[in-house]
């Protein structure tokens, strides 16, 4: 896919999905080789999708084990059963030049959502009294005012996709929330179940509602699609590729509030699917950029450790992909309706903005001047995050969940906020933006439209002037960002 690897600074028209499929889909001979392999091992081809470079197979566990020379074991987590591999799978020689990954042999959950509840904070969906005391919760509309989002735009003509790997959507909660914000006719929300994934209510309903309520409040005239899958390597990858190759809905913005440590290792579990998944998903993000899709991803809620207890810095994936806009988190001090200060989010109890330097992805060209610190092996890695917005649950977002109002934070709130802003920007600019990185890092006027956050820390890293591993380049000034992008 050399065209997708070419210099992004050379402005060129974004590809159409059908053109992408024609130029970069799987080769006919490779698809035929997989079909022959399946037939020889008693496996059934359920779906063959050259555009997504994907073939879905089904078979008995014993046949799958023989086909891929592996062992499958059953394990249990709570009330759910899943498979793990006893040893890494192998590909026959005939497929090694055609197949880049095998997914679905390992079905244990790997991805997690990034929301943090603040149960003792009283939310308010209506305007709060203006007092000298710090404001403790914000509606997305209040944040749009504080962050100076373009008032002339509402996301009209845009479609925002949101990936969900568990939980369910409540139309009643969503409609009540939007009406309380002053939108009598809430936008429609379309549901897509990837691979017939079960959509069942769980504690992660909170993530689903947080994402859609924030994004829709910021871009109330946009169209929205929730793509539900499962929190497995295959489920996560399939959800992303389904969005990228959706020729019917053609979303222009993708928001992801789920992730995992990029170098995650679990004792007793073979991680070859995780390694392959990172590369395949990054390839999907390359394709998204070529199509003009802007992908925004939460950077994580466990600070510089990303929740791993080895005392070393870690970053989250997919935020560490160099082809996504990674969103970190901040804490606000707002008094009498005015923003007094903003700092990197760290509650001192283990919840903090994710950020650091990737060990899996090299530093991209656009970060050459960003002063990203070297990683521990002395190599130059991708710096995370790129940008930031409110994420602290102590000054969090007012949302509706299970018929009640709550306050919630997390970098998973910053991502849909940015997604809604980008939908507004694309509406006014009249063209998709795709990867914004070269503009954000390489254009002084655009970078100046981000308000630098220079205080706070996420554990091992401290915020400071310019890019930093806590808050990236800063939080948005929406009007300034729109004005700067108009000049390019």
Catalogue the active-site residues: 207, 211, 412
Contact 84, 73 (CB under 8 A): yes
**Gap between the Cα atoms of 285 and 293, Å rounded:** 9
Give the residues across from 82 on adjacent strands: 75
**Gap between the Cα atoms of 64 and 67, Å rounded:** 5
Residue (of 220, 138, 212, 222) closest to 170 by Cα position: 212
Helices (DSSP H) in 219-271: which residue ranges? 233-244
Contact 187, 160 (CB under 8 A): no
Give the tokens for residue 464. 């400071």
Residue (of 243, 231, 158) closest to 197 by Cα position: 231
Contact 391, 319 (CB under 8 A): no
Collapsed DSSP state (helix, strand, coil) of residue 164? strand
Q: Which residue has the tokens 């970069």?
A: 24
Contact 359, 263 (CB under 8 A): yes
Contact 387, 476 (CB under 8 A): yes
Give the tokens for residue 343. 């700092």
Residue (of 433, 85, 382, 420) closest to 224 by Cα position: 420
Give the tokens for residue 384. 């995370």
Give the angle 21-23-25 at the CA atoms, nearest 5°. Answer: 45
Residue 203 CB partners (closer than 8 Å, separation 6+): 167
Distance of CA 308 to the CA centre of its chain: 20
**Number of other CB atoms surrounding residue 353 within 10 Å:** 39
Q: Which residue has the tokens 């689903």?
A: 208
Q: Could you report how far apart the first and last alpha carbons of the chain are, in Å?
A: 27
Collapsed DSSP state (helix, strand, coil) of residue 255? strand
Give the tokens for residue 407. 């306050």
Residue (of 65, 401, 426) closest to 212 by Cα position: 401
Give the angle 401-405-408 at the CA atoms, nearest 5°. Answer: 75
């Amino acid at each position: 896919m050399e065209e997708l690897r070419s210099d992004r600074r050379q402005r060129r028209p974004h590809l159409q999905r059908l053109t992408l499929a024609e130029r970069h889909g799987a080769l006919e001979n490779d698809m035929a080789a997989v079909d022959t392999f399946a037939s020889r091992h008693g496996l059934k081809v359920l779906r063959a999708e050259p555009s997504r470079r994907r073939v879905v197979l089904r078979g008995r566990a014993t046949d799958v084990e023989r086909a891929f020379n592996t062992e499958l074991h059953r394990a249990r987590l709570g009330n759910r059963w899943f498979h793990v591999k006893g040893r890494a799978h192998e590909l026959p020689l005939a497929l090694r030049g055609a197949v880049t990954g095998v997914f679905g042999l390992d079905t244990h959950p790997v991805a997690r959502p990034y929301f943090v509840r603040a149960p003792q904070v009283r939310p308010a969906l209506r305007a709060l009294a203006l007092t000298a005391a710090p404001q403790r919760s914000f509606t997305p509309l209040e944040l749009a005012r504080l962050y100076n989002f373009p008032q002339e735009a509402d996301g009209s003509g845009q479609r925002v996709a949101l990936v969900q790997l568990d939980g369910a959507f409540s139309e009643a909660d969503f409609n009540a929330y939007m009406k309380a914000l002053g939108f009598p006719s809430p936008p429609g929300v379309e549901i897509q179940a990837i691979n017939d994934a079960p959509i069942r209510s769980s504690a992660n309903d909170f993530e689903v509602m947080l994402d859609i309520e924030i994004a829709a409040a910021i871009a109330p005239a946009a169209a929205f699609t929730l793509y539900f899958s499962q929190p497995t390597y295959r489920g996560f990858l399939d959800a992303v590729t389904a969005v990228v190759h959706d020729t019917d809905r053609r979303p222009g913005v993708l928001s992801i509030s789920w992730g995992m440590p990029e170098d995650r290792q679990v004792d007793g579990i073979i991680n070859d699917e995780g390694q392959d998944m990172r590369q395949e998903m990054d390839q999907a993000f390359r394709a998204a950029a070529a199509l003009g899709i802007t992908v925004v991803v939460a950077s994580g809620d466990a600070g510089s450790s990303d929740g791993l207890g080895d005392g070393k810095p870690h970053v989250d994936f997919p935020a560490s992909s160099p082809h996504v806009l990674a969103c970190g988190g901040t804490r606000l001090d707002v008094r009498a309706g005015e923003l007094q200060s903003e700092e990197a989010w760290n509650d001192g109890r283990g919840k903090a903005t994710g950020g650091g330097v990737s060990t899996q992805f090299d530093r991209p060209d656009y970060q050459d001047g960003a002063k990203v610190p070297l990683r521990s092996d002395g190599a130059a890695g991708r710096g995370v995050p790129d940008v930031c917005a409110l994420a602290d649950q102590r000054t969090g977002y007012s949302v509706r969940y299970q018929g009640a109002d709550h306050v919630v934070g997390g970098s998973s709130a910053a991502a849909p906020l940015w997604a809604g802003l980008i939908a507004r920007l694309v509406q006014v600019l009249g063209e998709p933006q795709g990867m914004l990185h070269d503009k954000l890092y390489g254009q002084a006027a655009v970078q100046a439209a981000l308000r630098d956050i220079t205080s706070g820390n996420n554990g091992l890293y401290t915020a400071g002037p310019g890019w930093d591993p806590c808050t990236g380049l800063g939080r948005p000034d929406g009007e300034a960002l729109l004005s700067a992008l108009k000049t390019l």
